[in-house]
Structure 1
Amino acid sequence: MSYRLIVTDIDGTLLSRQGLILPGTRAELARARAAGATLALASGRPLPGLRRLVRDMHLDPSGLVLIGVNGAVVADAASGQVYNRRALEPSITARICTIAQSYPVTTMFCAGDDLIAADPDAERVGMEVKGNEMNFVHLPDMTRVEVPVDKVLLCGPNKVLTELAGVIRAEVGQDTESSFSAPYYFEATAAGVDKGSAVRAYAESVSIPMEQVVAFGDNYNDLPMINAAGMGVAMGNAVEEVRAAADRVTASHDEEGIAEVLADLFGDGSPAERSEELKANTMYEVSFEELLSPGGE
């Protein structure tokens, strides 16, 4: 099988625990792209955060596809052209906030380049604004949102979020897609919006059959694209549900798991030649663990 589209999650997948794209992974991605494959980065991060990552990681933006906010937005990394955007209606967002305000969680909205929140001093708000280079917009009463938003992001203790997630799914599940992107993060997008639907829509727009798509992921919000791809690959550090759904389980994000698979697909098992120009030691300043909690997990 010839694979023409490579889709990878970011945190826990493309980036190591130290916030690096490891040298073997860089080399394999470069070889695959030179062979004609398109690379897409699929993340819960908003587009500003993905643009920052592309810049800080010294990735070539030409032909690079950005799938942000769990599939709500798909854009071209080089030109900034937005191919597709599917937002939550304000009425649905307000219902989620009405439910969430009874729980000790921090609620945020991602809307384009803006992060909307009630408390500018909340730790998670500051982390998201800084880490993703977003504009902060103050909305004292989050239930009075009047603009479409790409995603509702709820942050709090896992036990609290698990209970809250059950209520949200029961009340507005027919109007939303939702998932845990981390133990401390529960996210909701519009119905039908997830990484899998975004990958399908983009692949169809460029006439790439899903059988020629390989997708890498580690967490619950990666399940839709793992299931949709011709080859769904779970990282060695993936949650059990992703490992069970995948066609292949590879090494962890700290052990060149992506490189292992791409070497098989594009090099008959032989590793790609590493270049001194790949800047393998560049570190992304705000890693997944830093966003989760001060000092990491």
Structure 2
Amino acid sequence: MKYKILCSDLDGTLLSSKSDVSKFAIEQINKIKNETKVILVSARMPSGMRYIQESLGITDQPIICYNGALVLSGDTELTSVFIPVPILKECYSLCKGLEADLGLYFNNEWYVPKSSLRVEKETKYTKSTPIFQDTESTLANWEKREVGAHKIMLMCTKESADTLMPVLKDKFDDVLNLYRSNDTLIEIAPKEVSKLSAIELLLHKDITLKEVIAFGDNYNDIDMLANVGCGVAVANARDEVKAISNYITLKNTDDGVAHFIAENLVN
């Protein structure tokens, strides 16, 4: 089947390294992008996605940022859903006394209270620069502006993440999407959005989910892969992701997405 839209997660999926798309992936996407819309879908902030769009030559397409909380077409916001400041204050209060820093994201703004190995890695891999500011000041500024967080990245130790995750789920499970991307990171987004809801927003009346193919590797990709016409997991994906996918391709480090495109989508 010829798919009208291809959606791909970035980290651990399309990116064969920590920060860049490979020459082979660029070549394969160039072969299909005139007939198939290629849309990047990520937990990243816009600046961490734009340079990849440019590499692929798909800047005419929208991008789905923050797991669907922010969808942009050029500089135009198609949707923007953020976590309000009162909830952010509660999350911050729960973190006090624990080794846990809040990385707070709104649109193309990224605030952290201090530098750390995690912040340095994020800066390097996403080619984005944080603003160093204490969390209280960030929340006070956002309260005045009447904005909130498109994403929270809780940067923890394993022990503090073990402590926080069940407490956060118990308190906020009805309003927040919480998932642990690794032992020390908890990513938090508004409950009412997902990668799937953002894709649905971009469907035109002549395109259905059955005409979408998607690639992913992590828990936040499950809804997307399970509901599109063809869901493809990379070999390094979590077992739960592989279980609901139609196909499993090679690892991201072996250019699994590009190989699947070359073998199945290129005429």
Q: How many residues align?
A: 261
State whether structure 2 residue 75 is matched by structure 1 residue 99: no
Q: How does 1:1-297 map to 2 (within 5 A)?
A: 1-17=1-17, 19-34=19-34, 36-55=35-54, 58-76=55-73, 79-117=74-112, 119-129=113-123, 131-134=126-129, 136=131, 138-141=133-136, 146=143, 147-203=147-203, 205=204, 207-267=206-266
Q: TM-score, normalised by structure 1?
A: 0.79
Cα deviations by residue, 1:140-188 (Å, 9 ceiling, x for unpaired): 4277562311111101233432431211111011011122233432111
CA distance in 2, matches of 1:52, 1:232: 25
SS at match of 1:11: helix
Cα deviations by residue, 1:233-287 (Å, 9 ceiling, x for unpaired): 100111111111111111111222112322343236xxxxxxxxxxxxxxxxxxx
SS at match of 1:254: helix
SS at match of 2:173: helix
1:48 touches 1:134 (CA, 8 Å); kept in 2? no
Unaligned runs of 5+ in 2: none
Q: TM-score, normalised by structure 2?
A: 0.88
Deviating more after overlay: 3-12 vs 91-100: 91-100
Instruction: Give the CA RMSD over aligned residues.
Output: 2.3
Moved over 6 A (4+): none
Q: 1:132 to 1:25 in 2, by over 3 A?
A: closer
CA distance in 1, matches of 2:178, 2:90: 14
Paired residue for 1:295? none
Unaligned runs of 5+ in 1: 269-297
Offset of 1:206 from its aligned partner? 6.1
2:68 touches 2:194 (CA, 8 Å); kept in 1? yes
Q: 1:116 to 1:21 in 2, by over 3 A?
A: closer
CA distance in 1, matches of 2:240, 2:196: 16
